Amino acid sequence: MVHAPLISTSLRMPAADLSLVLNSRAGMARPIYPEENTMITPKVIVTIAPTGGMASKQQNHNLPTQPAEIAEQTYACYNAGASVVAVHARRPDDEATCSPEVYTDINSRLREKCDIVINNSTGGGVNGDMVRTLRPGLEEIMFEERLKGCKGKHCEMVTFDCHTIMAMFNKRKLLMVTEPDRCTEMAQLFKDTGVKPEWEVFSLSHILQDTTRLIESGFDKPPYYVNMVLGAMGFQGGYPYSPKIVQMMVDHMPKNSVFCVSAIGPSQLPATTCAILMGGHIRVGLEDNNYYSKGKLATNIELVDRAVRIIRELGAEPATAVEAREILGLPPVKAPMRAAA
């Protein structure tokens, strides 16, 4: 399955008029209606990212960190229209881990409830089991801990950052080293384990370098799922959100790719709306954004409800988990399932 035809890079979407898009061939604005829409995919995958590896309950008391509350909130989001969950694991003290035992606990609770697609993080987080000090003022997210992220039971997909990251926030500097040899090692592990990579990218170079190299080397089967994370300005080399940036990144994806857009903080709403208009899929949740609106803390279910509402206003429907697996090329699972609304 390939990504849909794209809108012109000159798009500037007025906030009050989401019905206007640019005809990519004629370069002229026109209204878009469900019966004539050839850009928006009719079924949009909504990924819920409920926890993440950086946010804390001190920042937002609604953040789920323990297996039972992660499963409970994810299930509510599933019933609201989410079909994929991006799972980060936490220790009992709420700090980050890629422990296969914790992932298995979370994943098993989810699978008992529903057939949501389970995508486990191999980035982990910025504290707990994941980090060590390299020298004063510089910490490392440890490679050997990241490798554990694909080993929990019921894991179907894994986030794959096949690039090196320097993250800077709260006067901390964290290095996540993934040079080409490590990229290949991770890709081989995922292939051997039978999990599908979600190719997580923050810039154009992330697409053009090791993501494309590994795909062309046969480490993943089409369709290739590329998740563009925008607005992560604490990441050296990370891109802000704009429609032109999304268009540029989509234009350079490997053939037979589908794409998802995630965006940090206040960029989440405009970036995900843009992704829907461009024929893509979206990620929302407290991993990426603590606020529903300025000054108002969000809940995961509120963010999913809003995303689903926008999808429907634009003439599409949120994909069920069964439909998401068809889009992503994943095998079916045996679990309770929600019918399409």
Structure confidence by residue, pLDDT tens digits, 70-84 = 999 999 999 999 999
- Residue 3 maps to a domain: no
**pLDDT tier, 341 (very low <50, low <70, confident <90, very high otherwise):** low
Question: Do strands 172-176 and 165-169 pair parallel, antiparallel, or not at all (unpaired)?
Answer: antiparallel
Closest CA to 285 of 264, 300, 297: 300
Section 119-134 average pLDDT:
97
Q: Is residue 271 part of a domain?
A: yes
Whether residue 210 lies inside any domain: the answer is yes
Determine contact, residues 7/37, Cβ cutoff 8 Å: no
Q: Is residue 165 part of a domain?
A: yes
More reliable by pLDDT, 266 or 27:
266
Q: Which residue has better confidence, 37 or 24?
A: 37
Q: Is the confidence at residue 10, as pLDDT, over 90?
A: no
The pLDDT tens digits of the residues spanning 324-337 come to: 999 999 999 999 98
Q: What is the pLDDT of residues 246-282, one digit of tens each?
A: 999 999 999 999 999 999 999 999 999 999 999 999 9
What integer best gives the mean pLDDT of the chain? 90
pLDDT at 340: 54
Q: What is the mean pLDDT of residues 27-32?
A: 34
Q: Could you tell me if residue 174 is inside a domain? A: yes
Q: List, in order, residues 6 or more apart from 289 with CB less than 8 Å away.
A: 263, 264, 265, 266, 268, 298, 303
Assigned domain for 28 exists:
no
> Does residue 16 sit within a domain?
no
Choose the weakest-confidence range: 11-20, 93-102, 131-140, 158-167.
11-20
Q: Is residue 239 part of a domain?
A: yes
First to last CA, the chain: 24
Question: Is it true that the peptide bond before 34 is cis, omega within 30 degrees of 0?
Answer: no
Q: If you count DSSP H runs as helices and E runs as strands, how many of each does the chain have, helices first?
A: 10, 20
Using pLDDT thresholds of 50, 70 and 90, give the confidence band for residue 16.
very low
For residue 75, which amino acid is it? Y
CATH of the domain at 85: 3.20.20.70
Predicted confidence at residue 220, as pLDDT, reads 98
Would the pLDDT of 27 be above 80?
Answer: no
For residue 262, give the nearest of 252, 274, 253 by alpha carbon. Answer: 274
Say if residue 323 is exposed, middle or buried (CB neighbours under 10 Å; 0-12, 13-18, 19+).
middle
Residue 14 has pLDDT above 70, yes or no: no
Provide the domain count of the chain: 1
Quote the domain boundaries for residue 135.
46-328
